[in-house]
């Protein structure tokens, strides 16, 4: 039975072209890119080619890109670098709806004695920019606010955020893991100091990411060791995954506009169909300012885990929130921050699409989900 994969915010299918780009570095081209001989030098050249491709996707200079192991490392590195670069400042500002890579890292910083402000959001998942401005103090070292939310797809006004933060002379980091390749991002028009990117969210392999660091930004490396990445990130590079990452970025640039339009149409058809066929269903998040591939729907009076289990029986993959918090019985911290009612928060499902999804996929989901919701409500003590 065909797998219908609607969990692309958790991870994406590795593009065939990216797999092909990776294969030589799992075989004949095994040289160390830091070696002085020609055999290793050709491997180093491929890393630089990939760096150019990643940089081009966000209109950055290749020298501003640092390869990492994942988005989490990029996030942790950016925040810690800001704190280490100005150790007298002990204040960090973030939001209550960040990915765990930022949220839990900031909670750890708070336990270590740092002052952390977790900004709230409204019922649509939007940030109050006046609250952000009021939170900045002379002790603020860095502001870290995501570009787009991984659970709801809500897009934050990063340009406006940057104008506020930079006017106060504060470093700004944004986790753009979910935004890159789904919407245009141009660092020449966006005065952000550091941006996190992840390969497996854009049809590259797991285990590779990047951190954009704007020229002139004070930077302190997180991993200390060798001279790799111009001494900004120690450790022998994951060459195969970096090669695939570069190819995935080339494809993302090629398909950006087409994928944006296609996934939005499929997402809207899925969303409208479910709202019409499932009573007591609601969309979570700002329906205007969000990623084109993401919808978060609450089906009241049922448990999201039960929905996912039933979908899984039909080979339909979706999510109840962030993949990094799956297995937890706690309701989504994002939806709690938005004040989603108790009757709806436990029945929330995230559907996230990619360019590989089809109309047939949506047809099957629209056929199965209403039946599943009806059956589960009939079994539920809270059912209608």
Specify the 3-state DSSP secondary structure of 284. coil
Q: Which of 350, 347, 336 is nearest to 95 (CA)?
A: 336
Q: Which residues pair with 195 in a beta bridge?
A: 174, 212
Specify the 3-state DSSP secondary structure of 325. helix
Q: Which of 176, 169, 122 is nearest to 131 (CA)?
A: 122
16-23: long-range pairs with CB below 8 Å, 24+: 17/247, 17/248, 17/251, 18/203, 18/204, 18/205, 18/244, 18/245, 18/247, 18/248, 18/251, 19/244, 20/247, 21/243, 21/244, 21/246, 21/247, 22/205, 22/240, 22/241, 22/243, 22/244, 23/240
Q: What is the DSSP letter of 7?
A: B
Q: Output the DSSP codes for 192-244.
A: -SEEEEEGGGTTS-SS-EEEEE-TT-----SS-SS-HHHHTS-S---HHHHHH
How do strand 294-299 and strand 281-283 relate by DSSP bridges?
Answer: antiparallel
Q: Is 70 a catalytic residue?
A: no
| Annotated catalytic residue within 70, 106, 317, 324 | 324
Asked if 275 and 319 touch (Cβ cutoff 8 Å), the reply is no
**Number of Cα atoms under 13 Å in the Cβ half of residue 67:** 30
Q: Structure tokens of 212?
A: 């954009």
Rounded Cα–Cα distance for residues 364 and 256 (Å): 26
Q: Structure tokens of 198?
A: 């992840």
Asked if 86 and 218 touch (Cβ cutoff 8 Å), the reply is yes
Specify the 3-state DSSP secondary structure of 365. helix
| Residues annotated as part of the active site | 324
């Amino acid at each position: 039975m065909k797998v219908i994969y609607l969990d692309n915010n958790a991870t994406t299918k590795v593009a065939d072209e990216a797999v092909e780009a990776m294969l030589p570095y799992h075989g004949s081209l095994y040289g160390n890119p830091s070696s002085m001989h020609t055999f290793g030098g050709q491997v180093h050249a491929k890393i630089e080619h990939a760096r150019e491709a990643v940089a081009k996707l966000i209109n950055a200079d290749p020298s501003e890109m640092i390869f990492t192991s994942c988005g989490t490392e990029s996030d942790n590195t950016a925040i810690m670098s800001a704190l280490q670069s100005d150790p007298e400042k002990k204040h960090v500002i973030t939001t209550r709806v960040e990915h765990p890579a930022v949220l839990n890292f900031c909670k750890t910083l708070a336990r270590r004695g740092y002052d952390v402000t977790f900004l709230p959001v409204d019922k649509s998942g939007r940030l109050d920019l006046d609250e952000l401005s009021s939170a900045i103090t002379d002790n603020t070292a860095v502001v870290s606010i995501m570009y787009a939310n991984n659970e709801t797809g809500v897009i934050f006004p990063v340009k406006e955020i940057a104008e506020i933060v930079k006017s106060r002379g504060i470093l700004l980091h944004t986790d753009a893991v979910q935004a890159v390749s789904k919407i245009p991002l141009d660092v020449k028009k966006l005065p952000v100091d550091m941006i996190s990117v992840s390969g497996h969210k854009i049809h590259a392999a797991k285990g590779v990411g990047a951190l954009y660091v704007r020229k002139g930004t004070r930077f302190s490396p997180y991993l200390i060791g060798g001279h790799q990445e111009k001494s900004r990130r120690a450790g022998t590079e994951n060459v195969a995954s970096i090669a695939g990452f570069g190819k995935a970025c080339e494809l993302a640039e090629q398909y950006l506009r087409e994928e944006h339009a296609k996934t939005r149409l499929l997402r809207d058809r899925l969303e409208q169909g479910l709202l019409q066929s499932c009573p007591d269903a609601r969309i979570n998040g700002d329906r205007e300012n969000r990623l084109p591939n993401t919808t978060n729907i609450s089906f009241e009076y049922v448990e999201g885990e039960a929905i996912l289990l039933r979908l899984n029986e039909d080979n339909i993959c979706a999510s109840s929130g962030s993949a990094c918090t799956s297995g937890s019985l706690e309701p989504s911290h994002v939806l709690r921050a938005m004040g989603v009612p108790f009757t709806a928060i436990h029945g929330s499902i995230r559907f996230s699409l990619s360019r590989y999804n089809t109309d047939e996929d949506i047809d099957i989901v629209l056929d199965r989900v209403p039946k599943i919701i009806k059956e589960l409500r009939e079994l539920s003590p809270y059912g209608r």
